[in-house]
Amino acid sequence: MSKPPLAPPTLTAAALGSPVAVAVWLPLLAAALAAACFVSMDAAVKSLAPRYGPVQLAFFRFASGLVFALCLWGWIRSPLPRGAQWRLHLLRSGLLLVTLTSYFFALTVLPLAQAVAISYTAPIFISLLAMWVLHERPSRWIWVALALGGAGAGVALWPELRSSATPQLLGLAAAGFAAVAFSGVMVLARMQAQRDSLWTIVLIQNLLPTLALAGPAWAMWRPLQWADLPTIGLIGGLATVGLLAVTWAFQHIEASKAAPVEYTGLLWAGLLGYFLFDEVPTVYTLASAGLIVLGCLLLLRRA
């Protein structure tokens, strides 16, 4: 008598992880994807910086992102905010506008890795602001991960601050100010994610800044080079994917838990800086990356 055919192997919950573990891992992976997209967008913006000013670059980012957002919203047709809900959207749009305008200025005067390193003090402000506004209580492991990430960012900055007799303080201040404003953007994203559709958030967070920047960008307009259109389109695409990923992550996990994953973007900044702008990683960069990776692995292990 022949043996019955073997049943194909099945993937059990133990093999893939419990539902609780998966529920934690997926938002963290989404936050990591968002960090990669945003740093790639930064590199694309930096490549355009020699030809356009910060305000025009910010307009390019939001206007190109609006094209993608309109297509997505037109397909989904999610409900628009009503009444008092617009207040949070207006506040977040204003903070996002301030964040990117300041940060794009920093990108025009600072190396990519340095600008990104300063911007990644934002997770510290995010966790602190989440404690105050959202009443979150981060565990001690999140504080350890934040400390390692902050130390990694500090190591990345140290060579520039030590070797330069006259550091570009304006660029450093602009990047730091952008980090503080961005923490408000992310905490508001956590609040909005609980009440508004993802597609509506993406639409409005591109529409309002585009309208606000139209006048100032026109007043400072520099002639558009048609060869730059693909890069501008790429900026909008990366920004849209990043915004979708980070908003989805904040719908499923506390802001303080997602914040340390933002540090992975510094690794992308080192790689993109090397391949696109001939910025050779130093021992400090490698040490910085090691601390950041250690912090993120610790967060994932304890999550």
Does 13 reside within a domain? Answer: no
- Ranges of beta strands (E only) in 44-199 are none
Does 287 reside within a domain? Answer: yes
Does 197 reside within a domain? Answer: yes
Does 205 reside within a domain? Answer: yes
pLDDT at 11 over 80: no
Cβ atoms of 103 and 119 closer than 8 Å: yes
Does 187 reside within a domain? Answer: yes
pLDDT at 302 over 60: no
Q: Please state the φ and ψ torsions of residue 223, each to the nearest 5 degrees.
A: -55, 130
Cβ atoms of 156 and 114 closer than 8 Å: yes
Does 99 reside within a domain? Answer: yes
Cβ atoms of 41 and 249 closer than 8 Å: no
Rounded Cα distance between 105 and 210, Å, is 18
Mean pLDDT, the chain, whole residue set? 80
Does 256 reside within a domain? Answer: yes
pLDDT tens sequence across 131-144: 777 666 666 777 78
Does 1 reside within a domain? Answer: no
Q: What is the pTM of this model?
A: 0.76
Q: Where in the sequence is the domain holding 159, given as residue range(s)?
A: 25-302
* Tally of domains in the chain: 1
Cβ atoms of 32 and 246 closer than 8 Å: no
pLDDT tens sequence across 66-120: 999 999 999 988 888 887 778 888 998 999 999 999 999 999 888 887 788 777 7
